[in-house]
Structure 1
Amino acid sequence: MLIKPITKLQRTVLLLVVFSAFLSLLRVQITQNLSYTFLLWNMFLAVIPFMISEYVKIQEPEKLTKTKLILFIIAWLLFLPNAPYIITDFIHLKTNTKMAWYDLFMLFTNAATGTLLGLLSMVTFHELVCQKWDKHMGKLFSIAVFFLCGFGIYLGRFLRFNTWDILFSPIDLIRESILSFKESTAWLITFGFGFLLWILFSVVKRSKIYV
């Protein structure tokens, strides 16, 4: 398979990611403090679902069977919550420092970029599901994905699990996930983020900014 030239969308996304990383690195240079460098790692994780979707997008349609697509979706879904998860990094914002306004802008840029990466990747998989199955399945798929994503954000921020725990601590992850159904916070975060992402996805999909 020949390497295809980078698209306009990919160039724009790359610019956003580089700008977000630049803001984080510039803060280190200004303050000589590494306190916000975790944003670099979080942005790296947010890029992964977008990269997976872009890779799937260039697959030959006749070779992309339903089984292969499902496997790609599973891999993508494991990383997807990392994209909008950056929104929760606002918890680290300190408003009583000289860098407060810079930090606010930096966090917003990273959160917006991460969320957009997740939404754009969702557009790709939603279209593929509609093509392989039908539009009704595509709608159910998108709703299910976003609420699962909301629950993934809860697991990451409140229970401090990450994507790798699916491999290294699966029993703990399953046990804590089941126990979290008793927590009102889990439901609020799941439905809050799920509903927000679904609305934003609808806007992105209908505005066709991803073309």
Structure 2
Amino acid sequence: MSGRNKSRILFILYCSVLIYFDNSFSFMIFNLFLAFVALELSYLLPLFLFKSKFQAPVSIIVYTAFILMSPNIFYVVTDLIHLRIFPFKFWAEVEPKEWWHFYILTSGVIIAIFFYHLMIEQVRNIVNRSKWGTLLLFVFVVLGSIGIYIGRFLRFHSVHVFTEPFSIVKQFIDSLTGEAIMFILWITLLQLLVIWLFPKARSKSILL
């Protein structure tokens, strides 16, 4: 089974579990949905390469949409902070409800990392066409880290790039402290770690 089909099955199953069972992490449905949309967009990239000036406007729209949506995948990893709402007194007794929520949240994060791996494969297929492929991939990762920072701490979504672009830039610049830069660096290193742990597959799956 292809990675793309696995991702679709995982997305449907995970959201179904969250919808059916009452839990504290229903927001993961929306977060993983955004991640899934970004992944699906990555599979469309080869279809919208700049092949002619007539195709350029559509290509720009698709690639811009993908770049704006792509941080949503690794953003899910930062949702692990929500585990802090549980005391996890594991030295006293096993609390099934706490560990059920632990299972739900970590499962979503693992699925998101799988999505990220698949997305990076598609990005590699595109950037490796250039002699600057490695640099382009690194820039993509750094931009993703900045997007995650903006989403996590400034609470902007991808759509706000179109509705409040100047506000995003201003607040981002104003918020750039040493701690903010350190966060962006750490998230960048985490993404690079995932990329290094899961090397590029030999086969290039484009459509299915």
- Provide the secondary structure at the position in 1 that maps to 2:116: helix
Task: Find 1:82's aligned residue among 72, 75, 95.
Answer: 72
Q: Distance in 2 between matches of 1:145 and 1:126?
A: 10
Of 192-201 and 119-128, the range deviating more from structure 2: 119-128
Once the two structures are superposed, the pairs formed by residues 124-143 of structure 1 within 5 Å of their partners are 124-131=122-129, 133-134=130-131, 137-143=132-138
Aligned-pair distance for 1:166? 0.5
Verify: 1:13 aligned to 2:2, yes or no: no
Check 1:209–1:160 CA distance in 2 against 1; reply closer, same or farther (3 A cut): farther
Q: What is the CA–CA distance in structure 1 between the aligned matches of 2:161 and 2:195, rounded to whole Å? A: 26
Establish whether residue 189 from structure 1 lines up as the match of residue 183 from structure 2: yes
Give, as a single letter, the amino acid of the residue that structure 1 aligns with 2:63.
I
Name the residue aligned to 2:148.
153
Partner of 1:99: 97
* Residue identity (%): 22
How many residues get paired?
195
Q: 1:172 deviation in Å?
A: 1.1
5+ residue gaps, structure 1: 1-6
Report which stretch shifted further, 67-76 or 109-118. Answer: 67-76
Structure 1 position 118, deviation (Å): 2.5
Query: Is the 1:148–1:190 contact (alpha carbons within 8 Å) kept by the matching residues of 2?
Result: no
Q: Deviations over 1:89-124 (max 9, x none)?
A: 122223247521111111111112123213311221
Candidates 52, 55, 69, aligned match of 2:44: 55
Among residues 28, 35, 38, which one is paired with 1:46 in the alignment? Answer: 35
CA distance in 1, matches of 2:194, 2:161: 28
Decide whether the 8 Å contact of 1:147 with 1:195 is kept in 2.
no
The higher relative CO (CA closer than 8 Å, separation ≥ 6) is in: 2
Give the match's secondary structure for 1:88: helix
- Residue 11 (structure 1) shift: 1.5
- Give yes or no for contact 2:4–2:118 (8 Å, CA) kept in 1: no
Once the 2 structures are TM-superposed, how far is the Cα of residue 210 of structure 1 from its aligned partner? 7.3
Classify 1:125/1:116 alpha carbon distance in 2 versus 1 (closer, same or farther; 3 Å): same
Tell me the TM-score normalised to structure 2 length.
Answer: 0.81
Deviation at 1:161, TM superposition (A): 1.0
Compared CA separation, residues 62 and 184, structure 1 to 2 (3 A): closer
SS in structure 2 opposite 1:205?
A: coil
With normalisation by structure 1, the TM-score equals: 0.80
Q: How far did 1:27 drift?
A: 2.9
**Does the 8 A contact of 2:10 with 2:111 survive in 1?**
yes
Change (3 A) 1:61 1:186: closer
Q: Deviation at 1:208?
A: 4.9
* Structure 1 pair 64–79 and aligned structure 2 pair: CA distance change class (3 A): farther
